[in-house]
């Protein structure tokens, strides 16, 4: 598996992939292009290729003042349960730690038990709840946080 940064010009395939992944944020291609063009270090999108040349998953994150947010994680349906998400999250956490992140947080639908269990296996803990955060269908978000070593 290859983990690399999203390149400019890959916004459309990234948006298509995220659109197929249950639970992932459905961003337009332009948002992925914006992140791919960001060279400030405050935002990045990692891509997993499996096999080489085939986008199997992506993870988008931001960093500001020592606090990072995992904004989107999407894995192609046929590539789920093969370690792609864990590989992406591990690579993102390493990158964020090297950039000075002291904590990493994210929001997840309260009913997304699989995602909650996944993040908790990786050391995230429930630290809050946002009632009515999601629409279609309306639902609360859980806030999960990881304190970086």
Pairing state between β 2-5 and 67-75: unpaired
- Fold category of 2-147 in CATH: Aminopeptidase (3.40.630)
> In this model, does residue 22 exceed pLDDT 90?
no
DSSP-derived 3-state class of residue 96 = helix
The verdict on whether 54 is a catalytic residue reads: no
Say how far apart CA 42 and CA 139 lie, in whole Å: 29
Answer positive or negative: Cα dihedral of 113, 68, 29, 58: negative
Rounded Cα distance between 55 and 19, Å, is 13
| Pair of tokens at residue 16 | 């298509």
What percent of the chain clears pLDDT 70, i.e. is strictly above it?
100
Computed over every residue of the chain, the mean pLDDT equals 94
Give the domain ranges of the chain: 2-147
**Residue 107 catalytic?**
yes
pLDDT number for residue 139? 92
* pLDDT tens digits, one per residue of 60-102: 999 999 999 999 999 999 998 889 999 999 999 999 999 999 9
∠ at Cα 41 (17, 53), nearest 5°? 35
Residue with tokens 């659109």: 19
For residue 42, count CB atoms less than 10 angstroms from its CB and return exposed for 0-12, middle for 13-18, buried for 19 or more: middle
Catalytic residue among 10, 119, 133, 134: 119
| Per-residue tokens: 27 | 């961003």
User: Which of 33, 107, 110, 139 is labelled catalytic?
Assistant: 107
Considering the entire predicted model, what is its pTM?
Answer: 0.93
Phi, psi of 52 (to 5 degrees): -50, 135
pLDDT digits (tens, 9 = 90+) for 109-139: 999 999 999 999 999 999 999 999 988 889 9
* Whole-number Å distance between alpha carbons of 54 and 39: 24
In this predicted structure, the answer to whether residue 103 has a pLDDT above a threshold of 90 is: yes
């Amino acid at each position: 598996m290859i983990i690399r940064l999203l390149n400019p010009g890959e916004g459309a395939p990234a948006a298509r992939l995220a659109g197929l992944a249950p639970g992932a944020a459905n961003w337009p291609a332009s948002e992925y292009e914006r992140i791919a063009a960001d060279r400030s270090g405050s935002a990045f999108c990692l891509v997993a290729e499996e096999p080489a040349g085939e986008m199997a998953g992506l993870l988008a994150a931001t960093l500001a003042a020592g606090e990072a947010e995992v904004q989107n994680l999407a894995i192609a349906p046929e590539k789920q349960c093969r370690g792609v998400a864990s590989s992406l999250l591990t690579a993102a956490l390493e990158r964020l730690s090297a950039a000075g992140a002291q904590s990493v947080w994210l929001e997840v639908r309260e009913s997304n038990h699989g995602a909650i269990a996944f993040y908790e296996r990786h050391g995230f803990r429930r630290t809050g709840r946002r009632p009515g955060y999601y629409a279609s269908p309306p639902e609360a978000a859980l806030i999960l946080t990881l304190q970086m070593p």
